[in-house]
Amino acid sequence: MIACFKCGHENPEGQKFCTCGALLPQMAPTGSATSSLDLDEDTDYIKPTEHFPSAEMLAMAWAMHDFLEEEGELEPFLEVYEGVKTRLDNYNKNLHQESMEFITNDRNIDPDDTYPKQIQYLIVRGSQLSEDGIGMVEKFLDGLDEDRLESEVGKEGVAKIVQANDHFLLALHMSMTRTEAIRAAAKKRGIDLDNPQAHQEQEEEAVGAEE
């Protein structure tokens, strides 16, 4: 069964959409190329089923296409790629560990909760894809410097970077959806998560009134 991360409904495997209309994630098969990750044997891990809209990723992919297929200039690709590379390098070097520590703490709160585990998988897999993709694009550019055109290496490198972006954005989307669900549940109980001090004061007043 596949749980919808929007409404929580359990859907049969292979189903693309939940009954609420949300797109369901596909499962990444355990034991594939992702086996180097810290995977649990009893957990089905999700992966993006489609590309998230991104002007930056689209511009990079089209610039590569124009250079390889339309005899376009390399500069437009380099301009977009350098920005993407800088952003991904910055995340992998400075923010990845912080994200992992936060998720680990979340997993320790409730070991049976699969959400942190799924988000962790997406982030780690995204980091791997980004590093692999950047490495392939750098190999492609080095080849050009040596008058050697390795088209498939360049294409695959860009594809991996786009996949990495999809993994990161799906993790972000799941985190935001989870936060909204928690806020809604707290609101039903009269708890304002933006002002938890007020709720604590109300409880203290209620206890004082009972005494």
* 10 part of a folded domain: no
Tens of pLDDT, residue by residue over 144-173, are: 999 999 999 999 999 999 999 999 888 888
* 15 part of a folded domain: no
* 7 part of a folded domain: no
* 147 part of a folded domain: yes
C-alpha–C-alpha distance, residues 85 and 110, integer Å: 35
User: What residue numbers bound the domain in which 130 lies?
Assistant: 82-193
Verdict on whether the full-model pTM lies above 0.85: no
Kindly state the helix (H) or strand (E) to which residue 2 belongs, with its residue range: strand 2-3
* 161 part of a folded domain: yes
Per DSSP, the three-state class of 27 is strand
* Amino acid at the residue 69: E
- The total domain count for the chain is 1
**197 pLDDT higher than 90:** no
Tens of pLDDT, residue by residue over 52-103, are: 878 999 999 999 999 999 999 999 999 999 999 999 988 887 766 667 676 6
**DSSP β-bridge partners for residue 3:** 10
